[in-house]
Amino acid sequence: MSYIHAGKWFHQGRRFCQLTFHNIQNLSPAILGSATCVDRRQLCLVDNNCRRYSQGNGGHQREQSHWKWGLGLAGSLGVVGSILYWKISHQKLHAAEVEAGILKTGLPTFSKTDVAKHKTAESRIWVTYRNGVYDVTDYVSEHPGGNKILLGAGTAIDPFWEMYGVHKQAEIFAVLEKYRIGNITEVEEVKETDKKDPYANDPKRHPALKPASEKPFNAEPPPSLLIYSYLTPNDLFFIRNHLPVPVVDPKTFSLQVAVEKENEGVKLSLDDLKSKFPKKSVTTTIQCSGNRRSEMIKIKSVKGLNWGNAAISTAEWSGVTLDTILKHSGIDIDKADCKHVQFEGMDKGPDGATYGASIPIEIARCLKNEIIIAYAMNGTDIPRDHGYPLRIIIPGIVGARQVKWLNKIVLSNEESSSHWQQRDYKGFNSSTDWHNVDFSKAHAIQELPVVSAICEPAEGQMLDDAEVVTVKGYAWSGGGRGIYRVDVSADGGKTWHEADLNTNNQSPFKAWAWTLWEATVPLPKESKNTLLICKAIDSSYNCQPDSVEGIWNLRGVLSNAWHRVSVTIPDEQR
């Protein structure tokens, strides 16, 4: 079966496996109910009637096994890496589905504001689904996905269930309805003042995203969701906007490609791009240079959004290669007498200036067949927040140069003159501050250094076990350098353990996307608190710097020190 092949398993891992976006797309509706990985050699799929199919080395047999929410999902959400993408929610489901969340007469009515007051066990934990309001306080401890259920506390769980369609089964709907306490009132009207807001036309975002700023909108997913799937679902992909999201009419949109000072160049419609050239896909990780800035802020204040460790995401991007479009436009990039390739977006500031960036010609030449003028993200049109209709995808370099809402490509002898190329996204040493900084003397960030971060457990978390801890996270390096090793310590750096890596079978010298990793590590004895640390090595054997202090910089970029998470160890072994 096409959806299970070696490349999709964690080929170096011992304890877990992976079912990706692509797998899901190829699943037949009949077995789309749920999916789980019970061990490295065994993939189980549950159909709509809760019959379980098992998949070994070849073929699949149907097993008789009826699962309930608490039981079935203990084997699905409860096992790391078993992923069901939101697409399955588009499939035909059991009739019971329509009965969950429908308006029920005779029940109290609550507003969204009422619901939002119920986020903790003390105030009771309420969620909504469609028209239903539910008090799930007593269910939290039973949730097979652990405390991820709290991401929906005080708000709607619909977007989460859209994302993780595993929930949308008759049995689960039935469990949910057990906790029904009322109906939700209608959605509030948009206020008149909001309509004049330059950000009023921004799209709606997934509630799981944690904003670093609202206007412009910048947000990251919860770290534990970030590493839940190799490809980040579009709705959870971190968002880094510098300006309001432009409203683009795909019918009138065109992309201009030119050599500066030579001529007007060539204009291509969206339809031209999609129909006239070969489509190429590349899976890349994009990271904001400010990812993990919050750790620098703790040392000394910096200017920049207070990003946690999830301003990084991975998607499969599809479109036309830069080289194809340049050749079509009569430009041979290998011979062009230019030093930079500039990209211009359609997002405009109050002064009318658009976002722009550029890359050196050497990078463009080296990657001419890897740079994608992308019109699709994870198999669908690029969402508005991520650059609809076009984004330039330049594997291995910082997000800031991968211009969204792309409508102009210009070969030039100059770098982009934009603020973000000239006076932002550059590195300085820790003795440089705003009184003595000279942006003209530093180099624009292009390729990024090696980074890794712990996504589970979370900072300050009480662990389940006093003996061992399972630590999970991501690692990535710029320039296509794959990850050779991730070292994990559970005793503050005294001893190190090598993590199991999911490199997605990338070549270590053309690894555009991240490596997800997991390590189960013994905890120090007779200690109530400990420091978990991770550090990664890339294929150039570059390692992360030890301390944040050593790399602190006034803009808080390039924060790639060893990642540290403090956790509490339970007093007694369970």
Q: Both tokens of residue 218?
A: 């910048």
Shortest distance (Å) from residue 479 CB to a second copy: 5
The one among 26, 120, 547, 566 contacting a second copy by CB under 8 A: 547
Segment interacting with a second copy (CB under 8 A) among 54-62, 259-267, 349-357, 539-547: 539-547
Strands (E), 139-179: none
Cβ proximity to a second copy, 133 vs 322, nearer residue: 322
What is the spatial distance between Cα 408 and Cα 412, in angstroms, rounded to a whole number? 12
Active site residue 435: no
Cβ proximity to a second copy, 347 vs 487, nearer residue: 487
Chain position carrying tokens 């910096």: 302
Q: How many residues touch a second copy (CB under 8 A)?
A: 47
Shortest distance (Å) from residue 10 CB to a second copy: 15
What is the spatial distance between Cα 564 and Cα 493, in angstroms, rounded to a whole number? 10
* Residues contacting residue 383 through CB under 8 Å, at least 6 positions apart: 203, 234, 235, 237, 377
Shortest distance (Å) from residue 370 CB to a second copy: 12
The one among 75, 165, 449, 457 contacting a second copy by CB under 8 A: 449
Cβ proximity to a second copy, 9 vs 496, nearer residue: 496
The one among 76, 539, 559, 563 contacting a second copy by CB under 8 A: 539
Question: What is the SS3 string spanning 291-312?
Answer: CCHHHHHHHCCCCCCCCCCCCE
Confirm or reject binding of residue 541 to a second copy (CB under 8 A). yes
**384 φ, ψ (degrees, to nearest 5):** -55, -40
Shortest distance (Å) from residue 543 CB to a second copy: 5
From the candidates 240, 293, 384, 386, give the one annotated as an active-site residue: 240
Cβ proximity to a second copy, 286 vs 543, nearer residue: 543
Active site residue 85: no
State the greatest distance between any 2 C-alpha atoms of the chain, in Å, as a whole number: 75
Shortest distance (Å) from residue 96 CB to a second copy: 50
Q: How far is CA 339 from CA 195, 263, 318, 360, 408, in A?
A: 43, 17, 26, 6, 17
The one among 435, 443, 525, 574 contacting a second copy by CB under 8 A: 443
From the candidates 425, 484, 543, 555, give the one annotated as an active-site residue: 425
Segment interacting with a second copy (CB under 8 A) among 118-126, 318-326, 362-370, 459-467: 362-370
Taken in order 171, 102, 115, 218, is the CA torsion positive or negative? positive
**347 φ, ψ (degrees, to nearest 5):** -80, 125
What is the spatial distance between Cα 231 and Cα 85, in angstroms, rounded to a whole number? 10
The one among 73, 543, 554, 569 contacting a second copy by CB under 8 A: 543
Confirm or reject binding of residue 546 to a second copy (CB under 8 A). yes
Region 452-511 residues binding a second copy, contact defined as CB under 8 A: 477-479, 481, 484-485, 487, 493, 495-498, 507-510
What is the spatial distance between Cα 358 and Cα 89, in angstroms, rounded to a whole number? 40
Closest by CA position to 404, among listed 290, 258, 280, 239: 239
Cβ proximity to a second copy, 151 vs 367, nearer residue: 367
Chain position carrying tokens 């699962």: 67
Cβ proximity to a second copy, 127 vs 338, nearer residue: 338
Phi/psi region, residue 295 (left: phi>0; alpha: psi -120 to 50; beta: rest), is alpha
Segment interacting with a second copy (CB under 8 A) among 73-81, 91-99, 255-263, 537-545: 537-545
Paired residues of 358 in beta bridges = 342
Active site residue 240: yes
Shortest distance (Å) from residue 339 CB to a second copy: 10
The one among 213, 429, 505, 527 contacting a second copy by CB under 8 A: 429
Confirm or reject binding of residue 231 to a second copy (CB under 8 A). no
Shortest distance (Å) from residue 431 CB to a second copy: 4
From the candidates 37, 50, 52, 167, give the one annotated as an active-site residue: 167
From the candidates 143, 293, 340, 481, give the one annotated as an active-site residue: 143
The one among 163, 363, 372, 567 contacting a second copy by CB under 8 A: 363
Cβ proximity to a second copy, 251 vs 443, nearer residue: 443
Cβ proximity to a second copy, 324 vs 446, nearer residue: 446
Residue 423, number of CB atoms within 10 A of its CB: 13
Q: How far is CA 59 from CA 42, 45, 66, in A?
A: 11, 13, 21
What is the spatial distance between Cα 15 and Cα 556, in angstroms, rounded to a whole number? 36
> Pattern of binders to a second copy over 364-393, x per CB under 8 A?
--x---------------------------
Paired residues of 409 in beta bridges = 257, 343
Confirm or reject binding of residue 412 to a second copy (CB under 8 A). no
* Environment class of 2 (CB within 10 Å of its CB; exposed 0-12, middle 13-18, buried 19+): exposed
Instruction: Determine the straight-line distance between the first and last CA of the chain, rounded to whole angstroms.
Output: 41
The one among 43, 305, 371, 450 contacting a second copy by CB under 8 A: 450
Segment interacting with a second copy (CB under 8 A) among 114-122, 158-166, 292-300, 541-549: 541-549
Asked whether 9 and 500 are in contact (CB, 8 A), the reply is no
What is the spatial distance between Cα 19 and Cα 34, in angstroms, rounded to a whole number? 11
Q: Both tokens of residue 29?
A: 């509706």
Closest by CA position to 408, among listed 447, 355, 332: 355
Binding site for a second copy (CB under 8 A): 360, 362-363, 366, 427, 429-431, 442-443, 445-450, 477-479, 481, 484-485, 487, 493, 495-498, 507-510, 535, 537, 539-547, 550-551, 558, 562
Indicate which residues carry an active-site annotation: 143, 167, 240, 288, 425
